[in-house]
Amino acid sequence: MNLIIFGPPGAGKGTQSNNIINNFDLKQVSTGDLLRSEIKTQTDLGKKIESIINSGNLASDDVVNTLIRKIISDPKNFNRLIFDGYPRTISQVYSLEKSLKEFNQKVSIVFNLYVDKDIVSKRVNGRVICTRCFGIFNVYLNPPNSKNHKCEKKYLEKRTDDNSKTILNRYETYVEKTKPILDYYNKKGLLLEIDGNQKIDEIYAKIQGILQDIRD
Ligand code: AMP
């Protein structure tokens, strides 16, 4: 099955995708991670998109659609993708449909992690990411420690777009361009609403229950 994890910045899409891949034979595709890796290695694409991402605006549909089509076309990924942070515009929705159809697949479920605006800013401002194991932590809500994180502290980094100034723009961009696509998936009967304001484990318990029912 292919899943979409949907929600505003800070909803916990990456955290829950990590939980899912630890328990199910699925592969996470985060367009944010793919774009950040282009920036880190300073590819031509990375240089072009760096300022767009740091200001909290969206990269162009063509750029992300091309990255995603390549991943869908890989037979190793057949019917086992979790889309995290994609699609983000209606044009990306259509491109995703087209690519999945081309490679004989479809979306099975869209989990919408809905979260209050004040929680979003706390989660985003406190977020730190391990560049080695890709674990996601929060200095206020889920601090890295010797139990939940095995890598050295030096690998922990804050994302350059995780600050109070950019988060407002990212949230507004979500409301204006991304949230409306929920309607599309709702009409298709694929949407499952999950309360993303809860604790990480509580959210995951709901997701896990639903995925297990489908698998069994
Ligand atoms: P994320 O890691 O999902 O929070 O994404 C970080 C940033 O990468 C976003 O604020 C956008 O600038 C860019 N980005 C990620 N996914 C997409 C997408 N599907 N379409 C356009 N831009 C994206």
Give pLDDT, residue 125.
93
Give pLDDT, residue 113.
98
Average pLDDT over residues 139-155: 94
Output the DSSP codes for 78-108.
TT-EEEES---SHHHHHHHHHHHHHTT----
- Tell me the per-residue pLDDT of 13-29, one tens digit each, with 9 for 90 and over: 999 999 999 999 999 99
CA atoms of 64 and 44, how far apart (whole Å): 15
Q: Decide: helix, strand or coil at residue 31.
A: helix
Structure tokens at 56: 């909290």
Give pLDDT, residue 216.
72
Asked if residue 100 has pLDDT above 90, the reply is yes
Average pLDDT over residues 173-193: 97
Give pLDDT, residue 71.
98
Nearest ligand 1 atom to alpha carbon 53: 12
Structure tokens at 164: 């109070």
- Neighbouring-strand partners of residue 89: none
Asked if residue 176 has pLDDT above 80, the reply is yes
CA 171 to ligand 1 center in whole angstroms: 12
Average pLDDT over residues 158-173: 92
Compute the C-alpha angle 175/192/105, nearest 5°: 95
Give pLDDT, residue 165.
87
Average pLDDT over residues 55-81: 97
CA atoms of 156 and 177, how far apart (whole Å): 31
For ligand 1, pick from 33, 53, 62, 166 the residue to mutate: most ligand atoms within 8 Å of CB: 53
Average pLDDT over residues 109-120: 95
Give pLDDT, residue 164.
86
What residues are in contact with ligand 1 under a 6 Å CB criterion? 9, 30-32, 35, 52-53, 56-59, 64, 85-86, 88, 92, 161, 170
